[in-house]
Structure 1
Amino acid sequence: MNLGAWMQRHRRSILFLVALLALTGVATALRLPITLFPKAEFPRVVVGLDAGDRPADQMAMLVTRPVEEALRRIPGVQEVHATTSRGSAEVTLNFDWGANMVELALQVNAAVAQLLPTLPPGTRTEVRRMDPTKLPVIAYSLTSRTQSLVQLHDLAQYKLRPLLASVPGVARVQVQGGAQEEYRITVDPARLAARGLALADVARAVTAANAISATGRLEDHYKLYLVVAVSATTTPEQLRRIVVASSPQGVVHLGDVAEVARGTAPQWIRVTADGEDAVLLNIYQQPGSNSVAIAQGIRQQLAAGHASLPAGVKLANWYDQSELVTASAAGVRDAILIGVLLAALTLLAFLRNWKITLIAVAVVPTVMAATTLLLGLFHMGFNIMTLGGMAAAVGLIIDDAIVMVEQVVRRVREGGAAQFDGRRVIAAALEFVQPLAGSSAATIIIFLPLAFLTGVTGAFFKALSITMASALVISFLVALLAVPILCDRLLAARDAARDEERGLVFPRLRRAYLRLLQRVLARPAWLLLGLLPLVAASWLAYGRVG
């Protein structure tokens, strides 16, 4: 049994399968994650170190160098780069592409945790993997002319941050800027020395006075209660009454040797919005989450809680990654609609048959839906690369449909209404298998190598390559199997009886084209002369490309 007989025998099954793939693709599209960038794991781990106000030379000797030496022992490290400044350092580890970054990040974290007891007291560390989710998906600014920066920071930290962290898909909410209130203790060295005390005594006394400890338990009616002693100080007067030392000569309070006043923690970064000091809320997404859904959830939560904000507080959105994604999706939608419209007008103008036009128009959304299904099977989602690949594939998909429909119609009309039957339609389609396969394969071969690139380029263009190749393969199969069967089912003998030589415009265009083609084929050198200006213009344009 040849392919034509098999297609005629199983035409209902083929159409049902194509329709099922399209419907499943539509259902998959509703569940695919939507992000700005494709899912990629960069082979880089960054270790952040913070040791207060330690000078840069001491920071490099006591913190950066021991961390570097410990991290170099991790298997697979290709390069270690460190940057040290006053009180902080950053160590960057580069690995091979394709390495298991989750496992390597755990090894880096373990190495840093093992080294932490030997570092100066108070040193803080942060280990983070580099991937596209390290950029905020949406960000807001808080400004006010009636509230202080301390109040704005507390509003963002203790009210808005828990509210936004509850949105599904949010990994963390970062608060930047503003001011943090603190109590500043300024010790008088002379009064301290007169009482035979040191700064360490003051530090121990203040630390001991701000503690929460379990002091016992109580039992009552089969219930056990834990007794907790809270000795936290909340006002400057309470701090002044802290006992620094006691002796037979008397008790020394903190107020006897130091001045206590309200203040704010030093800020090394100033954040502004619209020319005013501001507090920023940066929302980060979880890997594989839907950035558009996260942005919608954030806006809904802020709209619900906006009424509870203090008067005079302005909440403004200054960055929204989902807008770029929705704009890319709108571009794909417009490309599909414009392509379908132009293809329909072209077929109606030249073939003058609404059935043929309907067949070609139905191919584009069918192929796009089936491509979306493959994206789901490959654990991919919608992003600027996959959407760009779908937009670029629209023209090629329409081309496959048009050439197959034109081939079938031309062969059917050559035989006329008397010889019209389903076998002639299928035979016309099979006659065009090799040209169609060669055209599709040539395009696929161009994009397929992009899937095997390495580095940052490969991480991004792999999604584009897979999307384009999938769309073209599906387009070839639909054009080969579904289009001829639809032509067989929808076309009738009267469609084959139409005379293409009727009319005033198209016969004249065809005769003019034949005359021009005969002249060019008789003198091929004219064609080469016509190409030279195009080559020269392309060379000049290439030199001007930035």
Structure 2
Amino acid sequence: MKLPAFSVRRPVFTSMVTLIVIILGLISFSRLQIDLLPNIELPTLSVRTGYEGASPVVMERLVTQIIEEIVATVPGVEELTSESSEGRSQVRVTFNWGTDIDTAAIDVQAQLEDEINELPDDILRPRVSKFDVASFPVVIMGISSPMDPVELTRIIEDQLRFRLARIPGVAQVDTWGAYNREVRIELHPERVKALGIPLKDILTALHNANLDLPTGKIDQGKYEVTLRAPAEFLNLEQIRDTVVTERQEGLITLGQIADIRDTYEKRNRIIRLNGNPGLRIAIRKQPSANTVDVASGVLAEIESINRDFPQLHVVPVINQGNFIERSIRNVANSVAYGGGLAALVLLFFLRNIRSTLIITLAIPISIIAT
């Protein structure tokens, strides 16, 4: 018995099978992972390192060229691209297609470890990372505020980062353009030279005065109490009052030979939001998470943050979820228009509404089933 005849003679069975196929298709569709880009593994690695204070020319000569020579010995390398800037080096390694990128990353890291003595002693250890499409930020938000930038950074690091990290599906929260607090001590060379104070003594005095050391344990009945001697600096006055050395005329403090200012570290990235200084936060999702769901959760949290922190202005700058939703709407519209036109063409040639409906219903059922 042929399948069409079997289906016609058993309409209930055929209807139930069709219904089961539709239900299974809808369940599968609801669990379908949605991403802006396909999850592909590119045969590319990046080797990053830093050498504080080195010019781009020095970085290229002492770091980048040596790393290129080391990495070039790894099997399967097809192309090397490097970039040297002040204090930073990046070498992009492209392998032949079909190369196991995980094994290649291990080989590159092992080769760098074997030849690490060829690089300067005080260099940051090279970091090898894979080029992963899924690691692109799902949402990038901008934050501006009339607050002190260091205080703004503290709020972001201590409060906002935690709130964003607990959103389901969020894997990592990165801050760009942060103002990290830094106490800057600028010595007066003429005073230091006149007093004959070695720089080593100044550094030693600062180190010894800014300690938080454990001092042991004592037993109090059934309890054991841990003791420590907290002596870390709490304010600028304590730093200024640090005794550097002693002379016959009295004690020499750091405030007498240096200007001490509360400022922030030098920033390598400057962020502006609508022309005003600001910061950016990048949200990266877990590999198995749904991009649209994660983006929706982040947008809801942004609204909550704006309500809870009226002194902050948080806006989404890039939202992959929005791109995906628009793409899905475009696909749905194309399917609807295409199905409608196909039905009209069938009706025009068949001149039979019943036959047209049967064939037209087969289109969405086929899509759902696959």
Length-normalised TM-score, structure 2? 0.86
**1:310 Cα offset (Å):** 4.2
- Is residue 129 of structure 2 the alignment partner of residue 119 of structure 1? no
Report the CA distance shift for 1:189/1:368 in structure 2 as closer, same or farther (over 3 A): same
Shift of 1:325: 0.6
1:165 deviation in Å? 1.6
Aligned-residue offset at 1:245: 4.2
* Equivalent position amino acid for 2:39 in 1: K
Structure 1 CA distance, aligned partners of 2:107 and 2:248? 55
Cα deviation for residue 353 of structure 1 reads 4.0
* Corresponding letter in the other structure for 2:169: G
Shift of 1:294: 0.8
Does the 8 Å CA contact 2:172/2:284 hold for their aligned counterparts?
yes
**1:217 partner SS:** strand
User: Displacement, 1:248?
Assistant: 8.6
Change (3 A) 1:275 1:340: same
**2:132 aligned partner, one-letter code:** D
1:95 and 1:211 mapped to 2: Cα distance? Answer: 49
Query: Which segment drifts farther, 241-250 or 214-223?
Result: 241-250
Partner of 2:149: 149
Structure-2 residue corresponding to 1:365: 364
> How far, CA to CA, are the matches of 1:43 and 1:280 in structure 2?
30
The residue type paired with residue 132 of structure 1 is V
Give the TM-score of the pair, scaled to structure 1.
0.61
Range 61-70 or range 23-32, more displaced? 61-70
After TM superposition, list the pairs within 5 Å mapping 1:428-439 onto structure 2: none
| Preserved contact between residue 271 and residue 279 of structure 1 (Cα < 8 Å) | yes
Pair 231,31 (structure 1): closer, same or farther in 2 beyond 3 Å: farther
The residue aligned with 1:402 is: none
Structure-to-structure mapping, 1:63-212, within 5 angstroms: 63-112=63-112, 119-121=120-122, 123=124, 125-144=126-145, 146-212=146-212
- Distance apart, 1:308 and its partner CA: 2.2
Give the residue type in structure 1 aligned to 2:156: A
Cα shift at 1:10: 7.8
The alpha carbon displacement at 1:8 in A equals 6.5
Q: CA deviation at 1:266?
A: 2.0
**Secondary structure at the counterpart of residue 260 of structure 2:** strand
Task: Spell out, residue by residue over 1:266-310, the C-alpha distance to the aligned partner (whole angstroms, 9 max, x if none).
Answer: 224322121211211121223343111111111222223332214
Q: Shift in Å at residue 140 of structure 1?
A: 1.1
The answer to which structure has the higher helix fraction is 1
Secondary structure of residue in 2 paired with 1:82: strand
Q: Work out the CA distance in 2 between the residues paired with 1:336 and 1:297.
A: 29
Distance 1:368 1:4 in 2: 20
Give the Å deviation of 1:36.
Answer: 0.4
Q: Distance in 2 between matches of 1:98 and 1:223?
A: 62
Residue deviations 1:25-53 (CA, integer Å, cap 9, x gap): 21111112211000011111112222222
* C-alpha displacement of 1:12: 6.2
Greater CA drift, 299-308 or 193-202: 193-202
Corresponding letter in the other structure for 2:155? L
Name the counterpart of 2:341.
342
Higher RCO (CA < 8 A, seq sep 6+): 2
**Structure 2 CA distance, aligned partners of 1:106 and 1:209?**
43
Tell me: CA distance 1:225–1:296, structure 2 relative to 1, closer, same or farther (3 Å): farther
Offset at residue 112 of structure 1 (A): 4.6
Q: Report the AA paired with residue 327 of structure 2.
A: S
1:236 to partner: Cα distance: 1.3
- Match of 1:80, SS state, is strand
Q: Distance in 1 between matches of 2:369 and 2:222?
A: 64
TM-superposed deviation, 1:113: 5.6
CA deviation after TM superposition for structure 1 residue 93, in Å: 1.1
Q: What is the identity percentage for the equivalent residue pairs of Structure 1 and Structure 2?
A: 28
- 1: CA distance, partners of 2:347 / 2:331: 24
1:139·1:319 contact (CA, 8 Å) conserved in 2? Answer: yes
Q: Matches of 2:367 and 2:221 in 1, distance apart?
A: 69
C-alpha change, 1:160 and 1:338, in structure 2 (3 Å) is same
**Coordinate RMSD, CA, aligned:** 3.0
Deviation of residue 252 (structure 1)?
A: 4.0
